Amino acid sequence: DIQLTQSPSFLSASVGDRVTITCRASQGINSHVAWYQQKPGKAPKLLVFAASTLQSGVPSRFSGSGSGTEFTLTISRLQSEDFATYYCQQGESYPLTFGPGTRVEI
Amino acid sequence: EVQVLESGGGLVEPGGSLRLSCVASGFIFPSYAMSWVRQTPGKGLEWVATISGSGEKTYYADSVKGRFTISRDTSKNTVYLQMNSLTAEDTAIFYCARINSTSEVLRCDYWGQGTQVTVSS
């Protein structure tokens, strides 16, 4: 199975900050990564797929990059509604796996 | 508008069974694989199972293989998860999600609101 790690696990930031979250895969997965945002009590929401393609309706302050084993999700200017937990997920093959999450808080 | 709505969660005793349902709308149901993903506070998000659009292929996490069965009824736009031999470790919120595989990357592009499954005596 493909294992994913995320760093940091917790991030304290302020509105307007630039935030970067890293996801590393245990083996090369091309660009087959997706990123999700989850707020308390809500289902995850797809933000980015294929490492860098923004899902429809997602604000352009979100961006993704990377290939192979290292991927990043960047929020260019953090807004108050962006405080949430972010997960990466490998979409290379089954079993699908998720990273442990990065909690972004004020 | 794409919508996914789960039901069937509840409290069940260890060793018991439960069937979850997921009704989908707003898209051509047979064209998409569907998945179940669960979440516990301690383990984060865990993919559970996927069924192909045709229903011919199924995939399971090792943790549920042999105990859970995913199926779909195209006439009802519904996906099911039959869960048997439940243990406390199966306690979680179960989400139903649509799988999109364009650009060769499998991802859950639409999720339901989740249904709580609690296994306890």
- pLDDT tens column, A4-43: 999 999 999 999 999 999 999 999 999 999 999 999 999 9
- CA–centroid distance for B5 within its chain: 11
CB-CB contact of B13 with B80 (8 Å): no
A/B interface, count of CB pairs below 8 Å: 70
- Write the residue in A32, A43, A101 that is nearest to B104 by C-beta: A32
**pLDDT per position as a tens digit, B78-107:** 999 999 999 999 999 999 999 999 888 999
Q: Using 50, 70 and 90 to split pLDDT, how confident is the model at A48?
A: very high
How far apart (Å, rounded) are the C-alpha atoms in residues B90 and B83? 9
Please give the single-letter amino acid code of residue A64: G
B47 phi, psi to nearest 5 deg: -65, 135
Q: Give pLDDT, residue B41.
A: 76
CB-CB contact of B14 with B111 (8 Å): no
* DSSP letter, residue B54: T
pLDDT at B43 over 80: no
How far apart (Å, rounded) are the C-alpha atoms in residues B108 and A45? 9
What is the distance in angstroms between the Cα of A42 and the nearest Cα belonging to chain B? 7
Closest CA to B81 of B2, B7, B30, B4: B7
pLDDT at A79 over 80: yes
A43 touches chain B (CB under 8 A): yes
User: A11: which 2 tokens?
Assistant: 């991030």
CA distances (Å), B108 to each of A77, B21, B99, in order? 26, 17, 5
What is the distance in angstroms between the Cα of A17 and the nearest Cα belonging to chain B? 26
How far apart (Å, rounded) are the C-alpha atoms in residues B97 and B50? 9
Q: Using 50, 70 and 90 to split pLDDT, how confident is the model at B58?
A: very high
Residues in B touching A31 (Cβ below 8 Å): 105
Residues in B touching A33 (Cβ below 8 Å): 105
- Write the residue in B45, B105, B110 that is nearest to A32 by C-beta: B105
How far apart (Å, rounded) are the C-alpha atoms in residues B117 and A76? 38
How far apart (Å, rounded) are the C-alpha atoms in residues A70 and A81? 26
Under an 8 A CB cutoff, do A98 and B46 touch? Answer: yes
Q: Give pLDDT, residue A106.
A: 80
Q: Give pLDDT, residue A87.
A: 98
Residues in B touching A45 (Cβ below 8 Å): 111
Q: Give pLDDT, residue B104.
A: 87
What is the distance in angstroms between the Cα of B33 and the nearest Cα belonging to chain A? 13
Interface test with A, best of B45, B62, B116 (most A CBs within 10 A): B45
Please compute the mean of the pLDDT values over residues A72-87 and round it to a whole number: 96
Tell me if residue B94 falls in helix, strand or coil.
Answer: strand
A53 touches chain B (CB under 8 A): yes
CB-CB contact of A72 with A32 (8 Å): no
